[in-house]
């Protein structure tokens, strides 16, 4: 930054949020703000700093109609890199929630790289989560931003960092969660409202923000260089060792939690994602050996120690409840596989996929006539919620994996399972 003259700061893409560009730059005590439209030919690296709002490169709602201006995004990403290389800074104003995934479980495309803010924050072991509702009651820890955040602060995203190598400084919190931060002393992420279009508030918004950014950036530039970390005090060494152990433990916990999330996918999805979740539960939850070869359309087989099939498994997803046709298909696949009509066969069905709005919706009863038909066809039926609850009972020590295998081998009808117990329904109740 030029310390002799006022800093020149670009405010980029204001037309994307419906703002008109002021007739002339806004000149303040320590900087000049140049407001530019999205398609400006000006380059980021030709300024001392850049301010822009998150979602600037996105069109559409929080669903599958989200569109990315990819060509412009790639161009500006290169320019930002050059700006930071010449010791400039960038400020992202986080006025809207991040749209990282589709709301609809049928559309699983990742959307976490469709905006420049997202790309900058896609860091190893660094996570963002949308809040239930905006929070303006922020705990501010960097005084330079206190007035701006008191007047215009509003958080919709919390950040969690499990990467000790990242240089992250909190700006503000919601409770104990970070909502505003500085990355590498040069990238500012500020939770804020949108400024009013009236000239007075518009000017006040950017004046307070620019003052805070420049004061903070100047202070950070005077902080200790990284090489000073080579010198360690005795207690510092012990604390860093303890921190490393805690970080590794947190990573282990996060990995384990991700497995449970994989299990719970069987409550939401259909087709391959459903099948993958069921296989994960069978292999890693129940420690069963699985053959996934789909030669005759049955989805998978449970194998014994000699790698011989002992149970056929059919996996289905539906927007309705358990249907008679699923039981017939399981029987048909058993026959086409060359097994006898009494060979153990189960069908695991994810019900009410689109209509489920809560966990309670997954507990819809199986019709008595369908249960009776399953008994007649010597098929065992489970909803995916029953399937998960079986694993819950195993973890709770109420049954064993061997008990589950015996149920699969010897029972027909509906295996109704809660987190307390299980019951074999025969359709005669």
Predicted local distance difference test score (pLDDT) of residue 382: 96
- pLDDT of 404 over the 80 cut: yes
Task: Give the helix ranges, DSSP H, for 111-186.
Answer: 116-121, 146-152
Whole-number Å distance between alpha carbons of 57 and 75? 11
Q: How confident is the model at residue 109 (pLDDT cuts 50, 70, 90)?
A: low
Please indicate whether residue 9 or residue 243 has the higher confidence score (pLDDT): 9
Inter-residue contact 214 to 239 (CB < 8 Å):
no
Predicted local distance difference test score (pLDDT) of residue 355: 84
Question: Burial letters for 183-215: b for 16+ Cβ neighbours within 10 Å, e otherwise?
Answer: bebbbbbbbbeebeeeeeebebbbbbbbbbbbe
Please indicate whether residue 227 or residue 349 has the higher confidence score (pLDDT): 349
Whole-number Å distance between alpha carbons of 161 and 128? 9
Read off the tokens for 232. 């360690």
Cα 396 to the chain's mean position, in Å?
28
Question: What's the mean per-residue pLDDT of the chain?
Answer: 90
Domains of the chain: 7-230 (3.40.50), 268-425 (3.40.1350)
Whole-number Å distance between alpha carbons of 62 and 101? 8
pLDDT in tens, 275-304: 989 999 999 999 999 987 654 445 789 999
Whole-number Å distance between alpha carbons of 412 and 387? 15
Please indicate whether residue 84 or residue 271 has the higher confidence score (pLDDT): 84
Whole-number Å distance between alpha carbons of 284 and 104? 27
Whole-number Å distance between alpha carbons of 172 and 153? 9
Please indicate whether residue 164 or residue 110 has the higher confidence score (pLDDT): 164
- pLDDT of 4 over the 90 cut: no
pLDDT in tens, 306-353: 999 999 999 999 999 999 999 999 999 888 888 999 999 999 999 999
Inter-residue contact 52 to 68 (CB < 8 Å):
no
CB under 8 Å to 276, separation ≥6 — which residues?
A: 262, 265
Predicted local distance difference test score (pLDDT) of residue 108: 47
Predicted local distance difference test score (pLDDT) of residue 106: 47
Instruction: State the number of CA atoms in the 13 A half-sphere of 124 facing the CB.
Output: 6
Task: Give the helix ranges, DSSP H, for 265-422.
Answer: 271-280, 324-336, 368-377, 384-395, 401-410
Decide: helix, strand or coil at residue 60. coil
- pLDDT of 1 over the 50 cut: no
Predicted local distance difference test score (pLDDT) of residue 33: 97
pLDDT in tens, 232-291: 999 999 999 998 899 889 888 988 888 888 899 899 888 888 898 999 999 999 999 998
pLDDT in tens, 137-186: 999 999 999 999 999 999 999 999 998 889 999 999 999 999 999 999 99
Whole-number Å distance between alpha carbons of 386 and 400? 15
Q: At what angle do helices 384-395 and 401-410 cross, to 10 degrees?
A: 140
Predicted local distance difference test score (pLDDT) of residue 110: 65
- pLDDT of 419 over the 70 cut: yes
- pLDDT of 424 over the 50 cut: yes
Q: How confident is the model at residue 66 (pLDDT cuts 50, 70, 90)?
A: confident
Q: How confident is the model at residue 2 (pLDDT cuts 50, 70, 90)?
A: very low
Find the length of the chain: 429
Instruction: State the number of CA atoms in the 13 A half-sphere of 40 facing the CB.
Output: 19
């Amino acid at each position: 930054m030029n310390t002799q003259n006022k800093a020149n700061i670009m405010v980029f893409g204001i037309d994307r949020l419906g703002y008109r560009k002021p007739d002339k730059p806004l000149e303040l005590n320590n900087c000049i703000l140049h407001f530019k439209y999205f398609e400006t030919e000006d380059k980021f690296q030709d300024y001392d700093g850049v301010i822009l709002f998150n979602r600037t490169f996105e069109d559409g709602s929080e669903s599958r109609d989200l569109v990315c201006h990819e060509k412009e995004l790639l161009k500006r990403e290169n320019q930002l890199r050059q700006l930071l290389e010449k010791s400039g800074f960038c400020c992202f104003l986080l006025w809207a929630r991040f749209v990282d995934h589709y709301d609809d479980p049928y559309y699983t495309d990742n959307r976490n790289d469709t905006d420049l803010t997202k790309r900058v924050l896609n860091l190893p072991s660094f996570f963002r989560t949308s809040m239930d509702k905006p929070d303006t009651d922020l705990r501010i820890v960097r005084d330079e931003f206190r007035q701006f955040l008191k007047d215009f602060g509003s958080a919709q995203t919390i950040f969690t960092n499990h990467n000790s190598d990242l240089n992250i400084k909190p700006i503000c919190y919601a409770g104990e969660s970070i909502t505003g931060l500085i990355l590498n002393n040069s990238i500012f992420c500020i939770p804020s409202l949108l400024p009013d279009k009236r000239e007075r508030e518009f000017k006040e918004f950017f004046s307070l923000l620019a003052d805070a950014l420049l004061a903070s950036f100047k202070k950070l530039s005077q902080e200790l260089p990284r090489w000073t970390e080579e010198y360690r005090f005795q207690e510092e060494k012990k604390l860093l060792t303890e921190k490393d152990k805690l970080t590794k433990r947190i990573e282990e916990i996060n990995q384990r939690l991700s497995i449970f999330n994989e299990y719970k996918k069987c409550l939401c999805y259909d087709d391959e994602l459903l099948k993958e979740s069921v296989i994960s539960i069978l292999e890693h939850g129940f420690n069963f050996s699985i053959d996934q070869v789909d030669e005759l359309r049955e989805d998978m087989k449970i194998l014994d120690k000699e790698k011989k099939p002992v149970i056929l498994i059919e996996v289905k997803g539906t927007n309705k409840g358990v249907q008679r046709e699923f039981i017939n298909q399981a029987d048909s696949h058993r026959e086409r596989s060359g097994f006898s009509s009494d060979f153990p066969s189960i069908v695991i069905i994810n019900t009410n996929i689109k209509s489920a709005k809560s966990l309670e919706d997954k507990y819809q009863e199986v019709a008595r006539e369908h249960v009776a038909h399953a008994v007649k066809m010597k098929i065992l039926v489970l909803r995916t919620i029953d399937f998960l609850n079986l694993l819950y009972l195993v973890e709770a020590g109420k049954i064993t994996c061997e008990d589950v295998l015996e149920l699969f081998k010897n029972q027909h009808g509906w295996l109704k399972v809660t987190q307390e117990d299980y019951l074999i329904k025969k359709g005669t109740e």
